[in-house]
A and B are shown apart, each in its own frame.
Chain A
Amino acid sequence: AQSVTQLGSHVSVSEGALVLLRCNYSSSVPPYLFWYVQYPNQGLQLLLKYTSAATLVKGINGFEAEFKKSETSFHLTKPSAHMSDAAEYFCAVRGLTGGGNKLTFGTGTQLKVEL
């Protein structure tokens, strides 16, 4: 079974500062990993995904994440935070379950960006 753990349910950064949202995974098979963003009262939007190609994955809105097998991590970063980045961020792992396709989410990290 696969699972992800997001460290820090709330992260606060100043505008222009580095954003680092942590995600560690547990998987008995090579994982496929995803980061989604949810803006208030909206659905989830894919930021980026790791599918066993390059370990450094670039996504939308200037975000990127690095897959580190030795650390079982897939942390999300952005060099310079913008007010519009304030949202809930979800890390997720995908694995086949009984022939299906199950996306398992972390508990989410609320990002707050302050002036």
Chain B
Amino acid sequence: DTAVSQTPKYLVTQMGNDKSIKCEQNLGHDTMYWYKQDSKKFLKIMFSYNNKELIINETVPNRFSPKSPDKAHLNLHINSLELGDSAVYFCASSQGLAERETQYFGPGTRLLVL
């Protein structure tokens, strides 16, 4: 009965590889997000989708490409991985775009680039 799920939970890979992280929510929400948490635990939004439409793109390198096949899924594909991409990536969802809406977070994907 997990609300927001992410796969994989851990991802260890070499520099230069391409990898994907998947996110699914079963809350019936219209809006989904990707956040990056760095080694100092600072959280920053990367992307936001509403009804499969890109709403926010926070100056993320174009090596990062989100894809939303439907409202319940938001995947993140990363090309040519770099050492600095090592972080924890969190997916989140909310009912809609209103400021009062609570964002529900997934458990995170811990990416380590060697």
Contact = CB atoms under 8 A, between A and B. Distances in A.
A94 B99 CA distance: 6
9 contacts: A43-B4, A44-B92, A51-B99, A100-B48, A101-B31, A101-B56, A101-B101, A103-B33, A107-B40
B100 A32 contact: yes
A102 B105 contact: no
Contact of B41 (A34, A43, A108): A108
Interface of A: 32, 34, 36, 38, 41-46, 49, 51, 88, 90, 94-105, 107-108
Contacts of A45: 105
Q: Which 6 A-B pairs have the closest CB atoms?
A: A100-B55, A100-B56, A51-B100, A43-B105, A44-B105, A105-B43
Given A101-B50, A107-B40, 15 more contacts: A42-B108, A44-B43, A44-B105, A46-B102, A51-B100, A94-B100, A96-B99, A100-B50, A100-B55, A101-B48, A101-B96, A101-B98, A102-B45, A104-B45, A105-B42
Interface of B: 4, 31, 33, 40-45, 48, 50, 55-56, 58, 90, 92, 94, 96-108
B55 A101 contact: yes
A88 B100 contact: no
Nearest to A2: B99
A62 to B, nearest CB: 19
Contact of B99 (A36, A88, A95): A95
